[in-house]
Every structure is written in structure tokens, then in C-alpha cells.
């Protein structure tokens, strides 16, 4: 039996209707590289009680998305009139994250998921990193072919005392970069795992978490099975979910 991993959907308005959706590459990566059974959950705050997740699921994946966390969630004004937000996803995820982690449910955050976990623990975001003095432009060129957009583009230095350094057995990794937002204040409960050349935090763990509780700014899900760093991360998440499943059985 495979562990059950909940993936919280985006809620997107397409035409006259709303849809709950998850990017295919996240589902494939976690199924193939973590060895779990992914279950897509709606971004529907009213229908997802924390007990339902804690009792029934062995892990939670928070995916990337073109949407941004609404800035009022971290006490900042909206940077521009029309931004691509997803209030339904914010409403669903933000209250769940700390409760999931403290209940010992493995949580893996990617890109937007990395940003929303920081906000969930009380951190803040730069809304346009490329406009911040001393920060680089971390956006992809959306005209490029996907293999270029999701290809490795900058190094990250791993924290000497971090779990990623132990897991990957190296000081530096090279990752892709497809984000306009990034961490401004890292929440107090989070510990840095990786830093970009411009000082931007690009991976953290939840301090003193009972189980896997890691988030990364880049996109390890992209052809994860071809990338040793991605494989190590998804495999570690899968092992944590398997351990949770065993624990839930007893």
C-alpha cells in the first residue's frame, strides 16, 4: 500500500467558472519519485478540517503556482492593482500548515508553497524581488522553451548545519528559478537551508518539526527523475510519508 499524499489545488477562474487544479508535473514527480498516491484536494477552506488531513493523509505537498499570496496576509499593501492572487488557496493552506507540521504530517513546499509556508508561520515576502536593491531578477523568460525556463540557472549555498547538506552531501547545488516574489522576513520558526548568491533565502526547514517539513523556492518537480537533487528531496519526502503511514496504522 502506498502512502496518501494530499496536494492542495489552486482555484482558478477560467471563463465563467472556477476550477480546482494542480500542475501535472507535481503529481507525476511525487507519484514517481516519492512513491506515494497523490490525492488532489480542492482549495476549499470550508471542506478541509485539519483533523481530516491529520487522520487520513500521510503527507501534504504545497505546489508552485503563478498566483501570489495576497499581501494583506503578511501585512503589506497590494503592489499593483491587478495581481494574480488565489484567495481560496490562501484561505485553505495558511491555517493548516503549522497544525499539520506540529501533528507530525510531512509537508513539502515548492515555490508558491515555499512562500505561503513562510507566511503561514508569520514571515513576509518581497512582492517584486527584482526591484529590491541588491537582489537579482529571479524570473524566468516565459518566451524560452520549457527546458530552458526550468533548467539550472544559479547556485545555492547550503547551510552547514542544515538537513539538505546532510541529505545531499554537498555545500552547493545549482537550481532553476521561476519566481518574481521571494522571502523578505523569514518566520522565526523556520531555519535557513539554502541561500542564493544575492542573499535570498531559497530553502528552509521548520525548526524542531517531528517529521519532514521542508520548503524550496525552485522547481525540483521538473523532470525530477532526471535530477539527483530532486530525486533525493522527493525520496526523503516519500520515506517520511511511509513512516507516517506505518505510524498511523498502529
Ligand X SMILES: N[C@@H](CCC(=O)NCCCC(=O)O)C(=O)O
Question: Cell 520548503 sits at which residue?
Answer: 215
Q: If you write DSSP's letter for every residue of 159-202 in order, what string do you get?
A: PTTSHHHHHHT-SEEEE----S-EESSPPTTEEEEEE-TTS-EE
CA angle 151, 196, 125 (to 5 degrees): 100
Judged by beta carbon, residue 68 or residue 118, the one nearer ligand X is 68
Active site residues: 111, 219, 221
Count the neighbouring beta carbons within 10 Å of the beta carbon of residue 201.
24
Q: Give me the least distance between CB of 210 and ligand X, in Å please.
A: 27
Judged by beta carbon, residue 47 or residue 78, the one nearer ligand X is 78
Judged by beta carbon, residue 24 or residue 133, the one nearer ligand X is 24
Q: Rounded to the nearest 5°, which phi and psi values hold at 183?
A: -75, 130
Chain residues binding ligand X by CB under 6 A are 23, 64-68, 111-112, 115, 178-181, 219
Residue 77, helix vs strand vs coil: coil
Q: Give me the least distance between CB of 237 and ligand X, in Å please.
A: 17
Within 13 Å of residue 166, how many CA atoms lie on the same side as its CB?
4
Q: Give me the least distance between CB of 180 and ligand X, in Å please.
A: 4
Judged by beta carbon, residue 108 or residue 244, the one nearer ligand X is 108
Judged by beta carbon, residue 58 or residue 140, the one nearer ligand X is 140
Please measure the distance between the N-terminal and C-terminal CA atoms of the chain and give it in whole angstroms.
15
Q: Give me the least distance between CB of 29 and ligand X, in Å please.
A: 11
Residue 60, helix vs strand vs coil: strand
Q: Give me the least distance between CB of 166 and ligand X, in Å please.
A: 26
- Sequence-separated (6 or more) residues with CB below 8 Å from residue 27: 7, 38, 40
Amino acid at each position: 500500500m502506498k502512502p496518501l499524499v494530499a496536494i492542495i489545488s489552486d482555484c482558478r477562474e477560467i471563463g465563467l467558472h472556477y476550477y480546482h487544479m494542480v500542475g501535472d508535473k507535481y503529481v507525476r514527480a511525487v507519484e514517481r519519485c516519492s512513491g506515494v498516491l497523490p490525492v488532489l484536494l480542492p482549495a476549499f477552506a470550508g471542506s478541509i478540517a485539519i483533523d481530516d488531513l491529520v487522520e487520513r493523509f500521510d503527507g501534504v505537498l504545497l505546489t508552485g503556482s503563478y498566483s501570489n499570496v495576497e499581501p494583506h496576509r503578511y501585512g503589506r499593501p497590494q503592489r499593483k492593482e491587478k495581481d494574480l492572487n488565489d484567495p481560496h488557496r490562501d484561505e485553505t493552506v495558511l491555517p493548516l500548515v503549522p497544525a499539520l507540521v506540529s501533528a507530525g504530517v510531512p509537508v513539502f513546499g515548492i515555490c508558491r508553497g515555499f512562500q505561503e509556508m513562510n507566511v503561514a508561520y508569520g514571515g513576509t515576502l518581497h512582492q517584486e524581488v527584482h526591484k529590491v536593491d541588491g537582489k537579482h531578477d529571479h524570473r524566468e523568460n516565459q518566451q524560452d522553451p520549457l527546458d530552458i525556463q526550468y533548467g539550472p540557472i544559479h547556485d545555492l549555498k547550503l547551510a552547514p548545519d542544515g538537513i539538505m547538506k546532510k541529505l545531499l552531501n554537498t555545500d552547493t547545488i545549482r537550481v532553476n528559478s521561476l519566481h518574481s516574489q521571494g522571502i523578505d522576513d523569514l518566520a522565526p520558526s523556520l531555519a535557513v537551508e539554502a541561500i542564493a548568491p544575492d542573499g535570498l533565502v531559497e530553502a528552509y526547514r521548520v525548526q524542531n518539526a517531528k517529521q519532514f517539513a521542508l520548503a524550496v523556492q525552485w522547481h525540483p518537480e521538473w523532470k525530477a527523475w532526471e535530477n539527483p537533487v530532486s530525486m533525493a528531496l522527493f525520496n526523503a519526502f516519500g520515506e517520511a510519508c511511509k513512516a507516517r503511514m506505518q505510524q498511523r496504522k498502529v
